Structure 1
Amino acid sequence: MTSRCSFRETGLLDNTRAVLAGDPKQLGPVVISKIAEEHGLGVSLLERLMRDNYLYKPDEDLGFDSQFITKLLKNYRSDHGDLLSLSFIVLIFTFHSDFLRSHPSILKVPNDLFYNGELQPCACPSQLYKQVELLPREGFPVVFHGVAGISQQLIGFPSLYNRAEIQVIKDYLKSLIKHFHQKNVSHIQPGETGIISPYGKQVDKIQMAIQSDAELSKENLENVEVGTVDKFHGKEFSVILMSTGRTFPRLLHKPHFSLGFVKDERRFNVAMTRARYLLIVVGDPRLLVTEKSWNNHTGSRVRARAYSHTQVCSMTSPHNRKAHSSVVDLAPPEHYE
């Protein structure tokens, strides 16, 4: 374990100026050791300066000293694919976010939660996704699909997987492919569709399920990217499907229960902002609404009539959605106010 870095220790400030680029609201340093985490090594130099140094802190109106920070709020993608994004540009350092250029409805919750609603979405709407039949609300490009499946683990492996969510992800992928074919799109292009899960084992199972599916195996899906949130950091896709993986509400009553990766606000921020035109999230709402970020996301989709649900899985038939035992039902919208 090493000590936290400072400008003085690096020698960067010897007759020069330093510029730091990054977004402390997204993924930070990967720290495995809990001891290192407790001693602050999970906090980047940029984030520490913004948190602890008065020069870089916002005033009462959430403004910054323009001598040190300039905040770029336009959120869009150029015609040539260059990423132009939220940035803090500082004479001493730069706070830069690789935020993708998203539809306003996709950007709203992360924008409100992490950026004080200051981002200005500038994405051009895509005609390809305006009439997707799978949307609970026509023209609203965000879906939360409630699934109460079963989180499972292999012996000796801490990572989780959830077969019910995998089935739903496959169903949505098939619906998207059908929609593409109706629009005379023969195969999925690079950067078109991505599938995210916080858990590596869920990623592996999704990949295996797609490859072994008789219908999907006939399609050209080599450009469909499947990976963890970390793999998708800095990337953007027209469509994102996300499987949260966690379930089992009864675990909430255990004193040492933790939502793990799902509770990580930075991973939530990255995952929710990878899509440009269509975002589909699959998860167990009974569990997710216990965490602030997910509560905001799920509640906003209920209020926007963009919530769908699948009947609950049974242990004996996790794949068969028609044989599930009961329906996931959310409280009225005011529950999320």
Structure 2
Amino acid sequence: MPGVDKFVFVGDQKQLSSFTQVSNLSLSLFERVLLNGTYQKPHMLDTQYRMHPSISAFSRHKFYNDLLKDGITAEQRTMNSIDRPVMFWDTQGKCSEERVRIRTREDNGYTYSNPGEISYIVDILQNLIYDKQVDKSTIGIITPYRGQRDLISKVLSENELINPTKEEIKVDVDRDDIYNDSKPVTIHTVSGIMIASIDAFQGREKDFIIFSCVRSNDTRKIGFLNDERRLNVAITRARYGLFLIGDHQTLDQDPLWHQYLDHLGSREFINRTDSVALSR
């Protein structure tokens, strides 16, 4: 580039890159520069100030090779007597996924929903809003599938406790649905609560994140949930509390999820009861 003396790349190759339907463009220029040895010692911003240390722990170790440090303490990220900053509710195969046919990129024209997981979401929301007095605008719900996003939004909009003023679902266009033939809507908001895909949540954060994993089947297939960069994004959006809902047995068949679930289990962050409690 004539006249350019210095070029500075800023990014995070451990999170999602831009979407492309051209395979040769799937590797970003930022990643190419890091991989081809142009810069032997890139400068790393090595301190995170967003997450409770219990939320950041797995990503710091697995994705950033223990080079990332916490610049915030557990005490600084404890709110409203919630002493379980991370919790995974195991549906134990009781909440089966449902395959939904739509015109979209996801899984060759199919998306997925899981109505059973939404009952956990409602319980967690009611616990946060009414028992813990958490402002709804500080809560986000992440799910990997459009079908689940739409179903969550519908159920929450009809729930009198979650949406007492009967507000309509607010929708915003975001990049991950640009190439769909259907109406390109990604981010939903119900009574202040944001519901969106993992991809749409990259670059965003909330005090509390609820993650609906969706996949639960006899064949133990988890689709693009096995993408490590997608997992890294999903579990690093929360500041104070991360609450996951999924089928342990299905997810555990994937090597990456097996490591994450082992990590959660070793810290007693897995709940195999139907009751929702955010404090001990």
Return the offset for 1:174. Answer: 0.8
8 Å CA contact 1:194, 1:224 repeated in 2? yes
Distance 2:205 2:234 in 1: 10
Aligned to 1:251: 219
8 Å CA contact 2:141, 2:195 repeated in 1? yes
Q: Where does the alignment leave 5 or more consecutive residues of structure 2 unmatched?
A: 103-108, 168-189, 276-280
The number of equivalent residue pairs is 242
Aligned to 1:209: 155
Distance 2:263 2:120 in 1: 21
2:69 to 120, 126, 133: 120
Give the letter aligned to residue 27 of structure 2: V
Distance 1:164 1:54 in 2: 48
Change (3 A) 1:304 1:48: same
Return the offset for 1:231. Answer: 1.2
2:242 to 255, 272, 279: 279
Aligned to 2:90: 146
RMSD: 2.1
Q: Where does the alignment leave 5 or more consecutive residues of structure 1 unmatched?
A: 1-11, 58-63, 77-100, 133-138, 253-257, 312-320, 322-337
Max radius of gyration: which structure? 1
Secondary structure class of the residue paired with 2:60? helix
TM-score (norm 1): 0.67
In the TM superposition, 1:116-195 aligns within 5 A as 116-123=65-72, 125-129=76-80, 131-132=81-82, 139-147=83-91, 148=93, 149-156=95-102, 158-181=110-133, 187-188=135-136, 190=137, 192-195=138-141
Change (3 A) 1:199 1:23: same
Distance 1:293 1:280 in 2: 18
8 Å CA contact 1:105, 1:140 repeated in 2? no
TM-score (norm 2): 0.80
2:39 to 34, 48, 56: 56
Aligned to 1:73: 46
Q: Which structure is richer in relative contact order (CA contacts within 8 A, separation 6 or more)?
A: 2
2:8 to 19, 29, 32: 19
Distance 1:280 1:218 in 2: 24
Return the offset for 1:15. Answer: 4.1
Identity of aligned residues (%): 29
Aligned to 1:226: 195
Aligned to 2:31: 47
8 Å CA contact 1:229, 1:271 repeated in 2? yes
Return the offset for 1:222. Answer: 2.5
Aligned to 1:81: none
Secondary structure class of the residue paired with 2:79? helix
Change (3 A) 1:44 1:212: same
8 Å CA contact 1:102, 1:122 repeated in 2? no
8 Å CA contact 1:288, 1:294 repeated in 2? yes
Give the letter aligned to residue 275 of structure 1: A
Return the offset for 1:127. Answer: 4.3
Return the offset for 1:310. Answer: 4.8
8 Å CA contact 1:238, 1:277 repeated in 2? yes
Change (3 A) 1:56 1:213: same
Aligned to 1:291: 254
Secondary structure class of the residue paired with 2:116? helix
In the TM superposition, 1:99-110 aligns within 5 A as 101-110=50-59
Secondary structure class of the residue paired with 2:203? coil
